[in-house]
Amino acid sequence: MTRTESLSILVVDDSDFFASLVADTLAADHGMTTVSITNPRDALSEVDYEAVDCVVSDYQMPELTGLELYQAIDERYDVPFILVTSEGDEEVASRAIRAGVSEYILKQDINEQQSLKLLANRITNVVDRRRTQQKYQRLVDNSPDEISQVRLDGTILAANETMATAFNASQSELVGEKLSSFVPDDVAENRRTQGQRATTAGSVLTFQDTIGLRHFHNIVVPLSTGSEAESVQFVTREITLQKHNEEELRRTKEELTFINRIVSHDIQNDVNIISGWGAMLENHTDDDGIEMVERIRETSDHIADLTQIARDFVASLEGDSAPDLGPVSLGSIVDTEIDKARSSHDDLIVSVDGSTGVTVRANELLSSVVGNLLNNAVRHNDKDTAEIEISAQRMETMVSLRIADNGPGVPDDQKAAVFEKGNKGAESPGSGIGLYLVDRLVNQYNGEIWVEDNDPTGAVFVVELPLHADEVA
């Protein structure tokens, strides 16, 4: 015997000899706790007062048949019931199964096995099956989703408490009614059609529908119901809030796209005009005005940098799924961004230690990562001449890019905060979004970024990026 729990079994047969034999053998050979009774009415009393895991009953008895005993017990208790029939009683067995009896077994089959192994196995199976059903029913009853069993003609066979509450009815009031009694006709018809599709396909289907201003996600599962008319199970969850959030997100993305278009074209064009006027003004001013012209140029360059950050930030937000990543040459990105930084800062000193000529898994916005880190090293530098040293170290599946500067460095208590949105020091000329964008992009690439102290002064921004698969191979 493999079961550690002792099942409580009630054996009912008008033959005292047979009832005692079955009860004693189940107890001795299979570790079950048994009670044998010869009068079916006494069996009813026993079930009323004692917890029983399973009833094993003969069919042909003088006061109540086994089927009548089952029906009397089933009206009050959810107890597995095995009906024992005589040879040739297949019609009785068939009626019993239709009525809901858990199992039936021929008395001859029991008599042929001295240890009653077949009967013991049947008992164990029906008890386990019933307990599984009860556990599932508890899950259904406690589910926040509306769960129902519905015939293909739309008749509700069963419904959980959540569904009853949703329609301001009791569970019993739902059973036997049509779906169209509780939801609009078009919704009921669509759900019935989806149930037919699931049954025909023999697989689970999902669909959404709307009742007034409320949105619902539905799962329909085809069920096997034996001789009953085919039915399906619906699991319905309200997703109105989710739909509203999706719509709000869609509108927000449209607004971001509109703002990005303004930043990319209108503002950028005006900045270019200001820069052009500043260059022209430089030839028509005295020495005192040159400083003002230089401030105009620096401010227009700064605005240009901000518009580029804004464009890249909006680009990083676009799309409903993970970004499309592919092979990107890190060396080409670094060289291009160094040239841009040098063109904007004549006295900038940049050196590259080691080869950056590797291919990483990223996208075109990697240029924003490198460009923002270079601009950050210059804009926050407190030296007369900003010096930046770039180095790269290839590892097994990653490359570590280090961008070191000779600036004031980053205090320990700010090393994590510098990547937060809007974070900027009191004296910072930046927007507070550049490093946040860098961190966001690096995370999208499944990389990491952090800041360390440089020796003897300054900061080192370390970016680890995954190598492209072709590079690793």
Q: Give a yes or no: residue 244 inside a domain.
A: no
Encoded tokens for 293: 């012209």
Domain that holds residue 28: 8-139
Sign of the four-CA dihedral 94, 95, 100, 101: negative
Whether residue 149 sits in one domain with residue 131 = no
> Looking at residues 321-349, what average pLDDT do you find?
87
Domain of residue 391, CATH code: 3.30.565.10
Whether residue 340 sits in one domain with residue 200 = no
Of all residues in the chain, the percent with pLDDT exceeding 70 is 87
Q: What is the pLDDT of residue 319?
A: 59
43 by Cβ neighbours in 10 Å (0-12 / 13-18 / 19+) ranks as buried
> Looking at residues 394-403, what average pLDDT do you find?
93
Rounded to 10 deg, the angle between the 287-317 and 240-261 helix axes is: 150
Q: Give a yes or no: residue 2 inside a domain.
A: no
Whether residue 24 sits in one domain with residue 110 = yes
How far apart CA 254 and CA 470 sit, in angstroms, is 37
Q: Give a yes or no: residue 414 inside a domain.
A: yes
Q: How many domains does the chain have?
A: 3
Whether residue 327 sits in one domain with residue 230 = no
Q: Where does a domain end: 215, 238, 261?
A: 238
Whether residue 453 sits in one domain with residue 392 = yes
User: Which residues partner with 399 through β-bridges?
Assistant: 394, 465
Q: Give a yes or no: residue 3 inside a domain.
A: no
User: Nearest to residue 103, comparing CAs of 60, 70, 137?
Assistant: 70
Encoded tokens for 246: 């999706």
According to the per-residue pLDDT averaged within each range, which of 80-94, 314-328, 456-470 is highest? 456-470
Whether residue 343 sits in one domain with residue 465 = yes
Q: Is residue 140 scored above 50 in pLDDT?
A: yes
3 state DSSP class of 339: helix
pLDDT higher at 273 or 352? 352
Residue length, the chain?
473
How far apart CA 432 and CA 425 sit, in angstroms, is 9
408 by Cβ neighbours in 10 Å (0-12 / 13-18 / 19+) ranks as middle
Q: What is the pLDDT of residue 281?
A: 78
How far apart CA 97 and CA 226 sit, in angstroms, is 10
> Looking at residues 12-33, what average pLDDT do you find?
92
Q: Give a yes or no: residue 165 inside a domain.
A: yes
Domain of residue 112, CATH code: 3.40.50.2300
264 with 307: CB under 8 angstroms?
Answer: yes
Band (pLDDT 50/70/90 cuts) for residue 323 is confident
User: Nearest to residue 375, comparing CAs of 466, 304, 269, 454?
Assistant: 304
Q: Is residue 87 scored above 80 in pLDDT?
A: no
Q: Is residue 343 scored above 60 in pLDDT?
A: yes
Q: Give a yes or no: residue 133 inside a domain.
A: yes
Whether residue 350 sits in one domain with residue 263 = yes
How far apart CA 377 and CA 408 sit, in angstroms, is 10
Q: Where does a domain end: 117, 139, 161?
A: 139
Interior CA angle at 408 toward 404 and 411, to 5°?
95
Q: What is the pLDDT of residue 287?
A: 73
pLDDT tens digits for range 445-467: 999 999 999 999 999 999 999 99
Band (pLDDT 50/70/90 cuts) for residue 139 is confident
271 with 300: CB under 8 angstroms?
Answer: yes
Q: What is the pLDDT of residue 424?
A: 55
pLDDT tens digits for range 236-277: 999 999 988 888 888 877 777 766 666 666 666 777 777 777
Q: What is the pLDDT of residue 427?
A: 46
pLDDT tens digits for range 192-239: 999 999 999 989 999 999 999 999 999 999 986 444 558 899 999 999
> Which single residue is written with the structure tokens 């989703």?
145
| Strand (E) or helix (H) holding 430 | none
3 state DSSP class of 391: strand
| Strand (E) or helix (H) holding 450 | strand 448-453
Whether residue 173 sits in one domain with residue 297 = no
171 by Cβ neighbours in 10 Å (0-12 / 13-18 / 19+) ranks as middle
Domain of residue 173, CATH code: 3.30.450.20
Whether residue 362 sits in one domain with residue 296 = yes
> Looking at residues 15-29, what average pLDDT do you find?
92
User: Nearest to residue 105, comparing CAs of 65, 59, 41?
Assistant: 59
DSSP state of 426: T
How far apart CA 22 and CA 402 sit, in angstroms, is 81
Q: What is the pLDDT of residue 422?
A: 60
Radius of gyration of the chain (CA): 39
How far apart CA 437 and CA 445 sit, in angstroms, is 12
Q: Give a yes or no: residue 205 inside a domain.
A: yes
Encoded tokens for 310: 């804004």
Q: Is residue 472 scored above 90 in pLDDT?
A: no
Of all residues in the chain, the percent with pLDDT exceeding 90 is 46
Whether residue 277 sits in one domain with residue 418 = yes
Whether residue 150 sits in one domain with residue 133 = no
Q: Give a yes or no: residue 111 inside a domain.
A: yes
Q: Is residue 4 scored above 50 in pLDDT?
A: no
Mean pLDDT of the chain: 85
Whether residue 273 sits in one domain with residue 161 = no
pLDDT tens digits for range 145-171: 999 989 999 999 888 999 999 999 998
Q: How far is CA 170 from the centre of its chain?
A: 32
Q: What is the pLDDT of residue 259?
A: 67
Q: What is the pLDDT of residue 208?
A: 95
Q: Where does a domain end: 238, 266, 281?
A: 238
